[in-house]
């Protein structure tokens, strides 16, 4: 009898001890939740149920084929002894929150994580869906408040609505988190780890709330020569050539470094319609050619039930909108090229957000570059917009015209 009373008396103490332990872990950890962004949220006109029957059928067929390929690839790679690993992407945030993005994929145990590979390997990465990932920022662990499938694309599971020591990638292997917590200005280290693998790391750029200016730059044909007019050369470059041997647009690295020196607190955001699969190669390119480092915002080519695959223009508009929302006190300098509707896209951004765009820089394609990019050599005129627009075929041209204007504005004040 006394033993039974002793056991009952011990239970409340055990509960209190567990609660104290949970509170202590919470104090030593960073709370995080799955991201719901403007990029992920489908407008009514974008949802598949609003599309014509033929479009719905075609999209559903593509989705079925992709899911079938992913399932077969998973079975095949499992038979080879491949295991999930993490492809980490550059994160960004403020002193109040951080946005972290990564993807879980299957790979041999002998292949180093985030290794620079030729494009053909990157294009055919096999997603590892619903994989547990442990994450730390500068050694402090993240604990998710909602783990499991993406709330946008997969059914919500209320049983998983609890604090956990890991996050779980979605049905396509992607993991997109917003982490709460105060991080000092500068570059931080994010560590991602899955069972059976060594941790892999990625930088996190923390941008102070006081930062008043940011630069959004396109990648293809703005800072990277794509060789699109020479189709065979473009395919060879993307799939088979060493990514380190890709060419930079003449003078753009020098122009960006001058911008960086003139505006040392201004972050660079690199926006591209390239898929997330090639993020590692693009990051190495930026570093190797001396461009200022910063987060890369790429496109998900995997068909999703609601948003399917966003067009290049839609992708750029949505991410510009997201950055405007993430940094409401920041004004932006937009840099792109005239080959993929960047002038029209940036003009629309400037019109929707009066006073938020300082200037637009457009790298003009050479006539031979324009033929297959646009189908003709004449550039499409930029819509009228109450923002200065500067044109130049090289970085040196833009430096001579755009940089003096920005310096006169004295944006560092």
Separation between Cα atoms, residue 293 and residue 280, nearest integer Å: 13
Residue 142 has pLDDT above 60, yes or no: yes
Scored b (16 or more CB within 10 A) or e, 348-379 reads bbbeeeeebbbbbbbbbbeeebbeebbeeeeb
* Of 7-16, 107-116, 128-137, minimum mean pLDDT range: 7-16
pTM equals 0.78
Confidence of residue 201 (pLDDT cuts 50, 70, 90): very high
Q: Which domains does the chain have, with CATH numbers?
A: 30-38+68-206 (2.60.40.10), 213-409 (3.40.50.1000)
* Residue 318, pLDDT score: 83
Strand boundaries in 24-139, DSSP class E: 30-34, 83-88, 91-93, 97-107, 126-127, 132-137
Q: Predicted confidence band at 217 (pLDDT cuts at 50, 70, 90)?
A: very high
Calpha distance 177→33 (Å, rounded)? 6
Most confident of 98-107, 156-165, 297-306, 364-373: 98-107
Contact status, residue 133 vs residue 194, Cβ threshold 8 Å: yes
Q: Give, in order, the Cα–Cα distances in Å from 274 to each of 2, 206, 245, 399.
A: 70, 24, 18, 26
Q: Give the pLDDT of residue 154.
A: 44
pLDDT in tens, 113-128: 555 555 455 566 788 8
Q: Tell me what percent of the residues of the chain surpass a pLDDT of 70.
A: 69
Residue 16 banded pLDDT, cuts 50, 70, 90: low
Nearest to 321 by CA among 303, 301, 297: 297
pLDDT number for residue 299: 77
- More confident: 235 or 341: 341
pLDDT at residue 25, rounded to an integer: 45
How many helices, marked H, and strands, marked E, lie in the chain? 10, 17
Where is pLDDT greater, at 216 or 326? 216
């Amino acid at each position: 009898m006394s033993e039974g009373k002793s056991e009952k008396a011990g239970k409340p103490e055990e509960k209190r001890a567990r609660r104290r332990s949970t509170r202590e872990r919470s104090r030593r950890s960073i709370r995080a939740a799955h991201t719901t962004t403007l990029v992920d949220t489908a407008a009514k006109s974008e949802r598949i149920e609003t599309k014509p029957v033929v479009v719905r059928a075609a999209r559903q067929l593509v989705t079925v084929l992709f899911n079938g390929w992913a399932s077969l690839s998973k079975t095949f790679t499992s038979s080879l002894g491949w295991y999930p690993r993490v492809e980490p992407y550059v994160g960004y945030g403020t002193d109040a929150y951080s946005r972290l993005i990564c993807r879980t994929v299957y790979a041999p145990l002998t292949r180093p994580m985030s290794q620079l590979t030729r494009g053909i390997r990157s294009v055919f990465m096999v997603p590892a869906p619903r994989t547990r990932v442990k994450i730390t920022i500068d050694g402090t662990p993240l604990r998710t408040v909602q783990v499991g499938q993406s709330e946008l694309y997969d059914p919500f599971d209320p049983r998983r609505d609890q604090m956990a020591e890991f996050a779980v990638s979605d049905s396509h292997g992607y993991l997109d988190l917003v982490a709460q917590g105060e991080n000092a200005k500068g570059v931080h280290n994010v560590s991602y780890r899955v069972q059976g693998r060594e941790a892999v790391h990625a930088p996190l750029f923390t941008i102070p709330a006081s930062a008043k200016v940011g630069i959004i730059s396109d990648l293809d044909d703005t800072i990277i020569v794509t060789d699109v007019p020479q189709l065979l050369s473009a395919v060879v470059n993307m799939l088979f050539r060493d990514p380190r041997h890709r060419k930079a647009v003449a003078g753009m690295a020098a122009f960006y470094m001058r911008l960086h020196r003139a505006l040392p607190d201004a972050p660079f955001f690199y926006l591209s319609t390239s898929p997330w699969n090639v993020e590692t190669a693009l990051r190495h390119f930026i570093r190797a050619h001396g461009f200022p480092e910063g987060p890369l915002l790429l496109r998900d080519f995997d068909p999703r039930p609601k948003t399917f695959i966003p067009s290049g223009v839609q992708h750029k508009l949505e991410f510009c909108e997201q950055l405007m929302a993430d940094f409401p006190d920041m004004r932006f300098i937009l840099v792109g090229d005239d080959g993929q509707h960047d002038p029209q896209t940036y003009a629309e951004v400037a019109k929707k957000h009066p006073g938020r765009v300082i200037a637009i820089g457009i790298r003009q394609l050479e006539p031979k570059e324009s033929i297959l990019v646009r189908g003709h050599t004449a550039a499409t005129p930029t819509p009228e917009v109450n923002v200065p627009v500067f044109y130049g075929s090289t970085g040196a041209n833009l430096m001579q015209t755009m940089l003096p204007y920005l310096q006169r504005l004295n944006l560092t004040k």
